[in-house]
Amino acid sequence: MSAASPAAEGGDTPAPPPDVPPERRFEPDLRAMTRINLRPIASPMPLGFFTIAIASVMTGCLQLGFFDEAARAAVAFTVLPAFVLQLLVSVLAFGARDVIAATLMAVFAGSWLPYALVMLTGAADGLQVLGVFNLMLLFFGALMTAVTRPKRALWFVLAFSLPRWAATGLAGITGAEWLTRTSGTLGLVVALVAMYTAFALMLEDMRSEQVLPIGRSGPAHLAVEGDLAVQLRNLERQAGVRRTL
């Protein structure tokens, strides 16, 4: 679809105002000739949430002892594609003008890559480093919860991820086994929430209506239920259209 002001169908360039000095170059008003093109895409969010679910199950099973310690490399290989998939979701979300979803998916993507590399290489003090890394993810997630509330699906996945990041971070730093088990259990809970969210979003996209409750509110609700005028509101002030980010 495209959104634009009415096109200039022809005619001469308007004369400069009389108060403009003749030696000064006059720039005509180009708004009448401007076109802003919007390209509809399929929502990448179900892919992002399914990826979170699968990767969380694999890492959670390792933490709960369902796999032997020798299976660390195998788990890392299964988690590594999550980095690529969620990075793709993030790029598509940026293109869809959803900075919250794009940022969250990019950070999730960035969390899987160091985990996979540390598990694969067996780097010295890797668990302690990952522990500090997860505590930083906890800080990031706490800030993101303040802006994701209207997107209740994102908010729930993030809210259940916070205690897991806390448990994983403390387990890596202290080496406490019970914290590792707690993190593994929370990982399975995150997987269930992410799986439900992904399925609900897929059903909504296929049937063009909400089938399972997602809990959108405020601007997020208007973005789905509003008309075209709502989607294009303040378009000229959005990133990619304005001159600066």
pLDDT tens digits, residue range 175-208? Answer: 899 999 999 999 999 999 999 999 988 888 777 6
d(CA 176, CA 184): 13
Does the pLDDT at position 5 exceed 50?
Answer: no
Confidence of residue 153 (pLDDT cuts 50, 70, 90): confident
pLDDT band at 224 (very low <50, low <70, confident <90, very high): low
Contacts of 93 (CB under 8 A, 6+ apart): 44, 45, 48, 101, 102, 105
pLDDT band at 27 (very low <50, low <70, confident <90, very high): low
* DSSP conformation class of 193: H
Amino acid at 107: V
* Residue-wise pLDDT tens digits, 79-109: 999 999 999 999 999 888 888 889 999 999 9
What does pLDDT average to over the chain? 81
Q: In this predicted structure, what is the pLDDT of residue 205?
A: 78
Q: Which helix (H) or strand (E) holds 36?
A: strand 35-37
Helix (H, G, I), strand (E, B) or coil at 127: helix
Q: Please state, in angstroms and rounded to a whole number, the distance separating the CA atoms of residues 122 and 151.
A: 38
When comparing pLDDT for 153 and 66, which is higher?
66
pLDDT for res 146? 83
Residue 89's Cβ-count burial label (10 Å; 0-12, 13-18, 19+) is: buried
Radius of gyration of the chain (CA): 24
Whole-number pLDDT of residue 8 = 41
- In this predicted model, what pLDDT tens digit does every residue of 28-84 receive, in sequence order? 666 666 676 767 778 888 999 999 999 999 999 999 999 988 899 999 999 999 999
Structure tokens at 200: 């609900």
- Greater confidence (10 vs 32) lies with 32
pTM above 0.85, yes or no: no
- What pLDDT score does 229 carry? 65
Question: Using CA atoms, how far apart are residues 190 and 60, in angstroms rounded to an integer?
Answer: 10
